Amino acid sequence: MAEGVADRITGINQTPWSELTDQQKYEMDRGYSVASDEDILSREETVAGPQEHPAQALGRMTAALRNTKKLAGVGNSEKFQSLDDSLREVLDLLSHQLPKNDVRESNSILMQVGVAYGRLITACEGYVSFRLHLTSAGRARQRIAKEILHRARTDQRGLAAYMDSSVSMEEDQRAGTVSEALGMARRRTLVLNGKTEGELKHVGGVSSFIAVLERGDLTDVSASGFFKEEDIFTYRRAKENALMALDTVQKRSPIAQADYQSIRQAILDEPEIGQTPDYTEHFAVAAKRTEKYWKDRVFHEYVNAVIKTAAAISQVGAKIDSSELGMYLKMGESVNMSRRNVASSRIAQLFGVGDLIAQSETATLKDENGTLKMGNLMQKARGTEAMKAAHELQRDNFRRMRKEYNYNVNKPLKENMPLIADDYLTPEFLKSLTSLQVLDNLMGQADRHAGNFMIDQNDQKRLGRVQGIDNDFAFGYTTEIGAGGYNRSIFNRGTSLSETDPGELTLPYMDAALADRIVAVRPEEVRLVLADLIEEPAIEAFLVRLDMIQKGILRDRRENPDSGRYLKTTEDWAQTLEFFKQDAKTKDYSTYVGQFLFLASEQNATYGALAGHLMEEERMEMASQAMGEELSQPEYDGLDDAQHAEKLRQFLEGFGVEKKILDYLQNTGRLNRDVDVKGILSEFSLEILKKIHRQYVKRYQKPA
């Protein structure tokens, strides 16, 4: 059995600091804070003696560490123990019940919580003022203590404000537990300045209704961002979800009651074909069969909004019911998805990479009528969507290839096309995207893809820092690392490893500071940060993943001290480019960077969304050009709306466009003289745009 940690540190304490190796300094600094790592260290097989129980090993280590001369002299263990005890005291109080019908008793309990927070603040202040943190691991623990200090001060002020306001609340509005009160205390109140929520600008469409808050819209003139109402998903039968989609659209963009009822009846009349939300869209599509869908533009667009909303609900249900999240809700059970965005933002802050996730916080929006809506205040993510960045880098080259190969989409597949040029890639990009992969592994992010992270780009389109958005599908109940979506596990687990064994750490590179922070974070700190946001099973699953990654890093550092895996400088990251390029060329790429480089390369041109997007642009341009050339013919001059519509209809009939679509366009005035060509082509891309493109592209093809 290898030498125990306590024995190693005892020996190290007798050596002058200047003569210690980096590994010894690392162990030394962890020894000062050994109480914070007891859950990890008690599971390290090199710690315990052959017959020792982990608890006995822990007791032996703690006694040995406290008896060492150097540790006893600095007193850091006592400072940390004070922080640890006060943090546990606060966490123990969070589950206490609050009597909603007795404000005085409720506030008396909350005052005790406030006092406990005061002790936590004092302990944090004492710990962060301690200066003997000479290694990166020690500095990581001190930075975490600073995060907890900031959180504790904010919570204490928020709870005091809640106690003041609870006196005037109705009984059913008051918190029933300390944890609920903490959630209300952490929730920011946004008061609209003489407006209702409906008067604000909205983005995202009916299915994702997000209010834009400009400076001046709120009484707090410094506040701005985007407000999204809370998204609470309830697992229902598919028909019920389709009806919910209908009610959501009716609430945000109402239609005549008779039309609403006809759509509702169409959904109700559709036979039940399953119980899971995967069938939600099926019921909404039933509304397309109503006669009015092809005659009335307002009705047509309303039904399309219902279908889009139903599809979004179906997607959430399918994801929740998958192994990637592992939630498997029972019928009627609910889960708050939108708060996972806030949880992601807080966890990123705790781990010292707050910039990797677009900032989000819980908020209540109050309008001039006193109407309250609970949701999230989100700050705009910086940069360009990763998928769009990939498109921009490849657009011109892809079009050149298409013309060169006579518009044969399959021909480029046979060529060995290069990755994007090195000039576009920076060390900052490589480090940032790799760190996002590590963070997603921790959070159990099951839906990371190139459409929900952003990339900074300069004027020369060089790639910089990344930032994750749309984190609703994080914090599932699965403990598997790298379970789904764009995700790639940072471990090679194999089939014989136990559920809690991380296996071999296979991520080739990791930011050294992030690795230090991961090792230093403890369960109590995670619970304090997430207590008001997500369910206990989600927190427990996060802690299991955290434990696996912590053990993996500790094991790797112990067994491979010279691996070169943990990078500190820009120059270090610059040296990794060749590896990532090779990773992109494999079919089983292991990194986010490799996957992005593959996405942005012509190797992927006809497989993924890159080609689909570029071909859609190409089709749109050609179809628009075809219709533009038709409309510029002198025969259209002087025609009234009816004549214009009839002539344009005949042109579209020549491409094989279906009669019911042409009837709808003509009956709703879409083919009149003020025709919106791109609007029509976008709405009916499958039915019109591709038909025009298929024939029009022949004019550009080279003779065989």
pLDDT tens sequence across 658-679: 898 999 999 999 999 999 988 8
Tokens of 455: 């990339």
**Amino acid 518: pLDDT:** 96
Per the model's pLDDT, the better-predicted residue between 196 and 149 turns out to be: 149
Task: Using alpha carbons only, give the angle 39, 41, 42 rounded to the nearest 5 degrees.
Answer: 65
**Amino acid 46: pLDDT:** 33
Q: Which residue has the tokens 């080609």?
A: 611
Q: What does the H/E/C string look like for 654-692?
A: CCCCCHHHHHHHHHCCCCCCCCCHHHHHHHCHHHHHHHH
**Amino acid 404: pLDDT:** 62
- pLDDT-based confidence at 316, cuts 50/70/90? confident
**Amino acid 198: pLDDT:** 83
**pLDDT 10s digits, 293-304:** 888 999 998 998
Tokens of 304: 């399309």
Does the pLDDT at position 606 exceed 60? Answer: no
Does the pLDDT at position 274 exceed 50? Answer: yes
Phi, psi of 342 (to 5 degrees): -65, -40
Contacts of 341 by beta carbon, 8 Å cutoff, 6+ apart: 360, 376, 378, 470, 471, 472
Tokens of 477: 């109940």
**Amino acid 134: pLDDT:** 60
**Amino acid 389: pLDDT:** 87
CB-CB neighbours of 378 under 10 Å: 23
Which among 250, 241, 420, 249 has a CA at the least distance from the CA of 334?
A: 241
**Amino acid 325: pLDDT:** 87
* Percentage of the chain modeled with pLDDT above 90: 46
Task: Output the average pLDDT for the chain.
Answer: 80
> CB-based burial of residue 598 (10 Å sphere; 0-12 exposed, 13-18 middle, 19+ buried)?
buried
What is the tally of helices (H) and strands (E) in the chain?
Answer: 27, 15
Does the pLDDT at position 185 exceed 50? Answer: yes
**Amino acid 674: pLDDT:** 92
**Amino acid 527: pLDDT:** 96
Does the pLDDT at position 17 exceed 60? Answer: no
Distance CA 39, CA 550 (A): 10
- pLDDT-based confidence at 428, cuts 50/70/90? very high
Does the pLDDT at position 74 exceed 70? Answer: no
Partnered with residue 145 across adjacent β-strands are: none
**Amino acid 443: pLDDT:** 95
Q: What is the mean pLDDT of residues 237-263?
A: 90
Q: What is the mean pLDDT of residues 324-330?
A: 87
How many angstroms separate the Cα of 417 from the Cα of each of 385, 414, 566? 24, 9, 32
| 8 Å CB contact between 504 and 590 | no
What residue type is assigned to position 369 of the chain?
N
**pLDDT 10s digits, 86-95:** 999 999 999 9
What is the dihedral sign for C-alpha 254, 257, 259, 264?
A: positive
Per the model's pLDDT, the better-predicted residue between 74 and 280 turns out to be: 280
**Amino acid 387: pLDDT:** 85
Task: Using alpha carbons only, give the angle 388, 392, 398 rounded to the nearest 5 degrees.
Answer: 120
Which among 398, 393, 419, 420 has a CA at the least distance from the CA of 612?
A: 398
Which among 623, 639, 641 has a CA at the least distance from the CA of 681?
A: 623
**pLDDT 10s digits, 382-423:** 999 998 888 777 765 666 565 665 555 445 444 445 566 688
Tokens of 624: 């628009």
Residues, the chain: 704
Question: Could you give the 3-state DSSP secondary structure of residue 220?
Answer: coil
pTM of the model: 0.80
| 8 Å CB contact between 358 and 379 | yes
- pLDDT-based confidence at 326, cuts 50/70/90? confident
Partnered with residue 228 across adjacent β-strands are: 210, 376
